[in-house]
Amino acid sequence: MRLVIARCTVDYSGRLDAHLPEAVRLIMVKADGCVAIHADGGAYKPLNWMNAPNRLVCEPDLWRVTNDKGERLEIRLAEVISDTAHDMGIDPGLERDGVEAHLQELVAAHPETLADGAELVRREYPTDIGPVDLLCRGRDGATLAVEIKRRGEIDGVEQLCRYLEYLNRDARLAPVSGVFAAQEIKPQARVLAADRGIRCVVLDYDELRGITSDTLKLF
């Protein structure tokens, strides 16, 4: 990971246009190519970013980040205060809590609850950007990528969007559609999922365990 603290301006063009005036910011370049610009506040969310895959060209006073979707990020460096690089190795990933892990296990055993006639291909399907919780095939043979959460929020939908973008580049799997499954799904996550063509499924943990029925509520 490369960490640069610099006084800079940032201009983004693509889905919309955005400008950040000159200020001191942290520029983070991750090993997978993701570029994120942070202020000294605002928790984890960057001011602007470009997800991988992209192309980064670094000149002494101008960085250009572009991708095949026509998005462009330009970082103009007025002053570089610090520039360091760190090899962080391979991250083992987030360990799921017991309920979320058990949800994945239960849904994997009964994939038809996600879509009529669906069959499981693999749990934790590996990709270069992380494992997909479940990879399934629908009755029509179409591929389904499933992300399972205890609480469904925007971050989970964005995570699934990244998986879908990656998986749809594989001719053996494409077209791949997404299913976002959780015990509770926040309204903002539903809106984003609908906008991205992702189906939402509300999971009832007790029903999945066979306490009442095997029926899922599909929205």
The answer to whether the pTM exceeds 0.95 is no
Joined together, the tokens standing for residue 53 give 């895959």
**Strands, sheet with 72-85, edge to edge from the N-terminal-most edge strand:** 48-50, 35-38, 17-29, 2-13, 72-85, 62-66, 55-58
What pLDDT is attached to residue 52? 83
Q: What angle do CA 155, 40, 62 make, to 5 degrees?
A: 90
Joined together, the tokens standing for residue 6 give 């610099």
What pLDDT is attached to residue 63? 96
What pLDDT is attached to residue 219? 46
Provide CATH 3.40.1350.10 ranges for the chain: 98-218
Helix (H, G, I), strand (E, B) or coil at 217: strand
Joined together, the tokens standing for residue 166 give 């990656």
Q: 98-218 maps to which CATH number? A: 3.40.1350.10
pLDDT tens, position by position, 100-141: 888 889 999 889 888 888 999 999 999 888 899 999 999 888
Which stretches of the chain drop beneath a pLDDT of 50? 94, 211-215, 217, 219
Give residue 217's identity as a one-letter amino acid code: K
Residue carrying structure tokens 């192309």: 55
What pLDDT is attached to residue 128? 86
Distances (CA, A) of 203 to 18, 119, 135: 38, 18, 17
Joined together, the tokens standing for residue 133 give 């919780």
What pLDDT is attached to residue 91? 63
Provide CATH 2.70.180.20 ranges for the chain: 2-85
Give residue 178's identity as a one-letter amino acid code: G
Residue 56's DSSP bridge partners are 65
CA distance 201 to 46: 29
Give residue 188's identity as a one-letter amino acid code: Q
- 8 Å CB contact between 106 and 208: yes
The answer to whether the Cα torsion of 131, 180, 190, 204 is positive or negative is: negative
Fold of 2-85: Protein Yojf; Chain: A; (2.70.180)
